[in-house]
Structure 1
Amino acid sequence: MATSLPDRSLVRAWLASLPGSSFQILFPALDKVLFEETIETAYHDRHPLLHPDVLSARACLWATLAVVALLRKSGRFSSLVSREMCAERAQYFVELYIDHDHSPNDIHFVQACFLLHKYRIAIGQYETASYMLSTAHSGVERLNGHLHHAMEHGSNVEPSLLERRRNHLRKLFWLCYTHVQDLVLPSDLRTRSVTQKPDLRDPDRHLGHDVFLQLPGENFDIEIMGSIAWERILSFLPGDPHLGLLKEKVYELLYSPSALEIIDSELLIRIRQLDDELEDWRLAIPPVLRPKLSITPVQGILWNHTFSSYLRSVQLQLEYHFLVTFIHTPVRRFGATQGQHTVLPEELHSAMHSSIDLSLEASRSTLRLLREPIAMVKQDTFWRATMYPIVAAMPLFLDILIHPHDGRREEDIDLILSASEVVEKLRKQCVTEYENRHIEQTSEFLRELVRHAYGAVVAG
């Protein structure tokens, strides 16, 4: 039955098995103390089934279990529950909540929608994922999570339950905000349903890097590491809110409809401004996590002192090159507003080549990193696993068409080919036909780029 729940002791055993630091990394949308409330409400028989508190708590519980089942590769829990069954039951309770005209003014409901968004993204169901993110984002707004509030006590003082709930709601806002930017920038998927301007003053307070800089003694124990499918974890890590702010600015200044009409000099000013802001962000990252300017053929991400900091380093390195590519690729539009035969001024011509070189090197760095023997990158969840190589491959492919006799063409074609091989490896993890079809289409698209690139070199 859709209304039944798993054994309560099993849920509590799973919750107790995760230390606080690993819980924050794996489930940033949950607060371990507040989740105890969720469990109590979900299993409480004092309220009728259709009571809004029960519906939202059960939706949150099942959405959490869906993610657990996705990430766990061993253990009693993963052998007893199906990830898709958990997701379907979470969706069932979310829809019941909405159908009974309950306004999304419940933090359990917001968490359920956000976790379902992450789950659906992980298996490639982007339209459903976008809808769930939009619902979570609007729910955060109704609860005033988009508004900044001062802390009542210092960070060393245990917060009251009310303050903990308010702080966690603000964290949920930043999670929703950063994920909206992740969808809008590469795909122009419109997930924004907020109607009020958010307050963006406190990004470091709720989604900083501290949890990834734990001491080795506080690291995940071997048993936990062995039972979690780390190859799927990268896309579940909390994003960097400063990158979310920058992604929104990149879209508005370079890719929005109005940005497509600006003159070349203004476009150059915007590119330089955004490049400076990205570099400021990179230098502000703690040295152990800081992205490198490029990844050479003999270089990769070195293992730093903990597994969690290593994961964060890989995530930030990919995100850094992703944004370098998006910031500098628009120089290809120079001259577009003046006509086909426009001769660019020397300054613009020089700036264009400089930006093209940066975007190409960022693309090469991404593809070099993806083809290294890093399991959690090669077998990452579908949104990132397919988006990173496609975004990286396109500037290289375009440059091959324009300059087929450049000395690096063989290396660039090999890198694009390796991207298709990275994506193809994901087939082993496909569970649904939707996943398999998506991977097949992405891999075929990259192989088609390779065929046309070879053709351009031969014909040139």
Structure 2
Amino acid sequence: MAAGPPRSSNRGRRAKACDSCSRRKIQCDAEVPQCNWCRHHDLACTYSRLVGKPNKKRNRKRNSQPDSVTRMEAILTQRLSQHDDDAQTEYLDSFHPHLRNVTSFTGIPLFSERGRAWIESRTGSCMTPRTLCSFGRQWHNPRRLYLDLDTAMNDKRPCELPPRATVERHAATYCSSFVCLVFPVLSKCLFSRTLCSAYQSHNSHSAASSRACVYSFLALISILRFEDGSTATMACESYVAAATSMIPQVMQDMTGDGLQTVVTMAIVYYFLGDLQSTGLFISIATRLIFALNAHSNPDYTTTPRCPSSSTSSHGSPTSSQLYDKSNLAHHLRDLFWTCYAIDKDLCIRTGQPSCLLDLHCDLTLPPDYSVMQSRHIQSPIIPGLGNNTVPMYPWDLRLSQLKSRAYDALYSPMAHCKTQSELLESIRTLDKSLEQWRLSIPPDIRPTLTFGETTPVSADVSMQSSMIRLAYYHFVAIVHRASGRCETRSPETHHEGVQSSFNISLDACRSTVRYLRVALHVITDDCFWIVIFYPITAILALFSNMISNPLDESTAGDLEILKSAPTLFRDIPIRKLTMAELTHLKFLDAFSQEPARLGELAIQKARG
């Protein structure tokens, strides 16, 4: 059983080393919540052995010590309680720009002071500032409260690169995997040059970008758990800290390795649920993209290709022959598209403007992208995967372009100046474009307009097709949610189009929760922080509607969805939990119970 941190015994002796360090006879720094060794090797840091002879008094002291999870909860509680309720309320108000898309259908931000007052007026109760604050702080950066990354970055002992042969083996594994098509941040051919620079010039100042590139790649495969023996115990955070420490030099060098570093780091933080850090790395990547001309579409017919790539001797080259991952221009373009997809999704999730403006970028898709995208999604095994295989990129690039248009047309400052008719016209235009995209997807993997309790699911459902469907339902919801601003401006005027948008948005939210329930078996455990965003936003939207219309005929069904939220959150696969993540999930679990509780109170109050 895990015990508390090192403690003094009655005889004056002290358990200076944790259990792991004691067994290995190494020095332990006794840091809380994990010592340096345990943190770097992803081990539970426990102090369960006894020092000296046991006696009743010492047993009483030991039994009074909390276990490791309780110890972590105490740390979090202490940090959360550093501010009183007034300070927490002030924090929520300042945090509001990051939660602009979490609004009621009347346009009132749920986490603002006005939103909390509105909830209380409709239910007779409220979410306490502590509950809101603990969730708000962790939602866009769930690890900041407990991640001792500063300790890792200030560690005087540098993080050493593993043997080059080990990195080369990981690179080969990554480049032959399906995930490399989704996140094409590595070119095996070009990466070999990076390794030469990183290992042959280890102490060279000019090799900083190359070493940062290697560290970021190691962090990525650590979090994606490419387990072939050694990667199972990789210390992701030490690699993250090492790569981050070199970012100033990366920005100064302006190289392809530097761009690969920051895009890869953005992906790492995205998987860790740290959207704040993701946005920062995306902003750095944007400047590098423009400096390296990666925002321009390469001429696939004239750019030089690797000698191993060859065109057909009969007629024009095919799309797979036009694309060559070993070509630097094509690789930089892959980094651009990866950055673009994450940037646009981040924009929709946080409500903040994107970094890569469409106006300044050539958005010509890779050769035959639509055909290759559908083919890859339908086939979990890609035959002949190599340098000439056109990637999929995160989600779907056509949907990413629609996300960009949606933010500009509905949620940008200019969009808030639109008249009611202009806003509804923008919604109709986007809805039409979205339907054209949906119909372009093969029927077997095409998202249904809605997903009900009896909607059949394809036997070939995959992680990628599930992510696209979740993204589709969320996109439908946010597009039609914007119509709520029409009622805010003219509450006395009932517009049939506005009500129709309300219903479409709510149906999309219900579809999100229902579909996720049946697709849990294909969700990989490293995507927890990415996936959980979808049910959270859907549940908050249903909660908002229930508070607004507690006597609506759909209320009973929506209340059941809200009540099922805690179970759904617990069922989403997640990689091996650290003590800190267990604690965060307790906060999330407590928060997930609030909408159902308040929804029931709203119904009771409306019924009198």
Question: Is 2:497 the partner of 1:351?
Answer: yes
Residue 77 of structure 1 aligns to which amino acid in structure 2?
Answer: S
Structure 1 segment 434-445 matched on structure 2, within 5 A? 435=581, 439-445=585-591
Within 2, Cα distance between the matches of 1:416 and 1:359? Answer: 16
Contact kept in structure 1, 2:344 and 2:354, CA below 8 Å: no
Residue 8 of structure 1 aligns to which amino acid in structure 2?
Answer: R
Partner of 2:396: 240
Secondary structure in 2 aligned to 1:381? helix
Partner of 1:72: 225
The C-alpha deviation readout for 1:76-125, integer Å capped at 9, x for no partner, is: 12244212122222222334434xxx242x11111111111111122222
Within 1, Cα distance between the matches of 2:331 and 2:556? Answer: 50
Pair 1:158–1:248, CA change in 2 (3 A) = closer
Partner of 1:110: 259
Partner of 1:212: 376
Within 2, Cα distance between the matches of 1:402 and 1:194? Answer: 36
- Unpaired runs of 5+ in structure 2? 1-156, 303-316, 385-391
Question: Is 2:356 the partner of 1:197?
Answer: no
Question: Is 2:569 the partner of 1:423?
Answer: yes
Shift of 1:213: 4.3
Partner of 2:527: 381
Within 1, Cα distance between the matches of 2:603 and 2:346? Answer: 34
Which of 279, 294, 298 is equivalent to 1:149? 298
Structure 1 segment 2-401 matched on structure 2, within 5 A? 2=158, 4-18=160-174, 20=176, 22=178, 24-25=180-181, 27-45=183-201, 48-51=203-206, 54-72=207-225, 74-98=227-251, 102-104=252-254, 106-152=255-301, 154-155=317-318, 164-190=327-353, 192=355, 197-202=360-365, 209=373, 212-213=376-377, 215=379, 218=382, 238-299=394-455, 301-304=457-460, 310-338=462-490, 340=491, 342-344=492-494, 349-372=495-518, 374-377=520-523, 379=525, 381-401=527-547
Within 1, Cα distance between the matches of 2:322 and 2:433? Answer: 34
Pair 1:380–1:350, CA change in 2 (3 A) = farther
Pair 1:162–1:395, CA change in 2 (3 A) = closer
- More displaced 10-residue stretch of structure 1: 361-370 or 287-296: 287-296
Shift of 1:436: 5.2
The alignment of Structure 1 onto Structure 2 pairs a total of residues equal to: 428
Residue 418 of structure 2 aligns to which amino acid in structure 1?
Answer: I
Secondary structure in 2 aligned to 1:209? helix
Residue 310 of structure 1 aligns to which amino acid in structure 2?
Answer: S
Contact kept in structure 2, 1:29 and 1:111, CA below 8 Å: yes
Within 1, Cα distance between the matches of 2:425 and 2:359? Answer: 30
| More RCO (CA 8 Å, sep 6+) | 2
Contact kept in structure 2, 1:416 and 1:450, CA below 8 Å: yes
Pair 1:85–1:375, CA change in 2 (3 A) = farther
- More displaced 10-residue stretch of structure 1: 203-212 or 34-43: 203-212
Within 2, Cα distance between the matches of 1:248 and 1:216? Answer: 29
Contact kept in structure 1, 2:323 and 2:330, CA below 8 Å: no
The C-alpha deviation readout for 1:400-448, integer Å capped at 9, x for no partner, is: 1233233332321221233333334568744373x55654444433321
The C-alpha deviation readout for 1:277-324, integer Å capped at 9, x for no partner, is: 1001111123333211121113354232xxxx7222101110110110
Within 2, Cα distance between the matches of 1:184 and 1:295? Answer: 26
> Is the radius of gyration larger for structure 1 or structure 2?
2
CA RMSD, 1 decimal: 3.1
Q: Structure 2-normalised TM-score?
A: 0.64
Shift of 1:33: 2.4
Within 2, Cα distance between the matches of 1:351 and 1:289? Answer: 30
- Unpaired runs of 5+ in structure 1? 221-235
Residue 209 of structure 2 aligns to which amino acid in structure 1?
Answer: S
The C-alpha deviation readout for 1:349-395, integer Å capped at 9, x for no partner, is: 22122211211111111001222361454856354233211221133
Within 1, Cα distance between the matches of 2:522 and 2:223? Answer: 14
Pair 1:330–1:438, CA change in 2 (3 A) = farther
Residue 209 of structure 1 aligns to which amino acid in structure 2?
Answer: Q
Percent identity between the two aligned chains: 27
Residue 136 of structure 1 aligns to which amino acid in structure 2?
Answer: A
Contact kept in structure 2, 1:325 and 1:358, CA below 8 Å: yes
Partner of 1:224: none
Partner of 1:405: 551
Contact kept in structure 1, 2:265 and 2:281, CA below 8 Å: yes
Which structure is higher in helix share? 1
- More displaced 10-residue stretch of structure 1: 280-289 or 374-383: 374-383
The C-alpha deviation readout for 1:231-283, integer Å capped at 9, x for no partner, is: xxxxx962311111111111111111222232221111111111001001111
